[in-house]
Structure formats: structure tokens, C-alpha cells
Amino acid sequence: MVKFDNWRKKRGLGEGAITEEVLLAYFFNVEKHFAASSMWTKYLFYAEINAEIGSRKYKTKKAKIQERNQIEEFWKKAPDVEYLQVKVALILGVAGACRCNELTFLDISDVQDKGSYLYVLIPDTKINISRSFTVMEEAFSVNAAEMCRKYISLRPKAAGRRFFLAICRCQMSTQHVGINTISKTFSKVASFLGLPDPERFTGHGMRRSSATLLANAGGDITTVKRHGGWKSTTVAENYIEESLSSKMAIAEKIQVLPNVGKVVGPSSTSETPHRVYLNPGQNNKVVFAAKELALAPPNKD
């Protein structure tokens, strides 16, 4: 690492300039002074640099979230005949920041009708901490509680304890809804709304959307942790994503003058860097550029 850093600094290459061409140029210089048998250790160094670049530039893809207006649009426009089970799963998933397995194994006795609202208990969670939440009648501009009541009223007398049962031809069967079907709830909503990349709207997106909606509405991190059952503040913060409406609100506070309504300056965006894959055999232009850099004399400054 030290030798490479010294070689890089002599040529005026900053840390941000560690690219495929730079690394290959360094190895063209190294092979002049070492035998082939000694190049193995240099190769390990090469792999270490590659891993370091990857760790800096690689970002994990998280499940996409949906905005409040998108969720409301689906509840209003999607027909109950085809999407009633999806609507109810979406209501409970977003209202309670539920995991897919929590919805799958939800017991009918865990959903209690209190008249003006529904009280939902999640007794078995991933970290063995029970949670509860309510579903209001006037929630998300729809009567969410009444929609859940409609779904419950379709249950056959011989139904088991599971809350979610399959609906076929406008009739509810005794067949349980599996976790794979529950996990596709968010992607079905995205497909109905015509959102791009619907496959990235996984079941976990309902949990992330719930945390994001709560945070954007003014909930502090303690409230978010209690709502989702997270012990770690860091984990809870990773579930919160800045929505477009939140970014617009922040931009308005920064860029709009009070009582004027004119934008002071444009907002800036930054592109996400792409990972550099080091494989000189696939790109001759890169090799030639590396050779030119290797033969270039170091800066005298």
C-alpha cells in the first residue's frame, strides 16, 4: 500500500484517481523489477485494492418505498373484486410496519374490532418483542377499517385461525395465503400504478414505507423504533428513506424566500458512482492507456 501510494503521489494522482488504468500502470512498472514467481504477492495487493474500491463505491439496493399519494391512489382505483386481499395486506403492512411473515401468520383473533378502529396485535416478532397498532376508519383518505371489515366478512365458517385466506371468484376459500403471495403485495401495487421496476417493490418495502411515512410526518427516532420494534437506532435509521415530498419540503425551506415564493437557486444532484471492475483482458484500450501512464515520467513538483 505504501509503495503504491508513493508511486501514485509522484505522478500527481489523487486518491479519487484509483482507476483500472492507474492500477494496471502500476503493475507494468512492478513487473520490471520482480520475477514472475514474486508477482503472486503483488497480485494479492491488486485484489486488495480492487476490494477497497468496491467497498467504497458499491451500494446495497434497498427495497423501494411508495409515497402516501401512490398508496392512496391504489386504494381508490384498484377494484375490490380483484385486489381486496392486496389492499388489506397493504393496509396492515404499512400501518404496522409489518414483516411478511408477521402478516402471513397473523391470527384472526389478533385483529380486534373496537368500533371506531381496529386493534391489531403482533405477538410473535423476529426479536421476540410484541407490537400492536391501530387501523383508523379515516386513514389514507379511505375507510381503511371498513375495508378490513369487508375482507373479514367474507370468511367461511370452516375457516382456520389464519387471518389471510385466498379469494377465488369473489369467494374466500379456506386456503391460507402463503408468504410468497404476501411478499408480492407491494410489487402488485407498483404494477397496477405503472411504476418503474415493480420487482424492486418487495414485501419489505411496506415496512420501509411505514417507517418513512412516520419520520416524514414528524415522528422522532424513538417513536420510529417503537413502531417497528427496532432496538438499534442505526437499524431504524436505515429503514427511513427520504421521499420526494420530504425532499421538496426541504428544498422549499432552503430555496424559497419567505412570503415571496421564488426559488433562490437550483437544487443539486449527484450521480451514484459505479463500481470499477478490474479485468484487463476485456478492454485493450484500458491496457494501452495504462501503458502510456506507466511510461509517463513522474511530476517534478
Check which CATH number belongs to the domain holding 107 and give it: 1.10.443.10
Q: What is the pLDDT of residue 126?
A: 73
Residue 211 lies in a domain: no
Residue 208 lies in a domain: no
Residues 96 and 171 in one domain: yes
The fraction of the chain above a pLDDT of 70, given in percent, is 67
Q: What is the mean pLDDT of the chain?
A: 78
Residue 185 lies in a domain: yes
Residues 116 and 38 in one domain: no
Q: Which domain holds residue 73?
A: 68-198+243-250
Q: What is the pLDDT of residue 145?
A: 92
Q: Residue 65: which residues within 8 A CB-CB, separation 6 or more?
A: 205, 208, 209, 212, 241, 243
How many domains, the chain? Answer: 2
Residues 84 and 151 in one domain: yes
Residues 18 and 100 in one domain: no
Contact 237, 221 (CB under 8 A): yes
DSSP 8-class letter at 297: P
Residue 256 lies in a domain: no
Q: Which of the pair, 16 or 131, is modelled with greater confidence?
A: 131
Residues 83 and 188 in one domain: yes
Q: pLDDT digit string (tens) for 270-291?
A: 444 433 334 444 445 545 555 5
Residue 210 lies in a domain: no
Q: What is the pLDDT of residue 100?
A: 93
For residue 241, what are the CA distances in angstroms to 209, 236, 246, 268?
A: 8, 11, 9, 18
Residues 79 and 47 in one domain: no
Residue 136 lies in a domain: yes
Q: Residue 140: which residues within 8 A CB-CB, separation 6 or more?
A: 68, 71, 72, 75, 91
Q: pLDDT digit string (tens) for 217-239?
A: 888 889 999 898 888 888 888 88
Residue 262 lies in a domain: no
Contact 236, 224 (CB under 8 A): yes
Contact 67, 206 (CB under 8 A): no
Q: Which of the pair, 244 or 223, is modelled with greater confidence?
A: 223
Q: What is the pLDDT of residue 280?
A: 42
Q: What is the mean pLDDT of residues 238-264?
A: 64
Residues 111 and 182 in one domain: yes
Q: What is the pLDDT of residue 158?
A: 83
List the single range of 28-37, 73-82, 126-135, 232-241 with lowest mean pLDDT.
28-37
Residues 171 and 121 in one domain: yes
Residues 117 and 149 in one domain: yes
At position 45, the amino acid (one-letter code) is F
Residue 261 lies in a domain: no
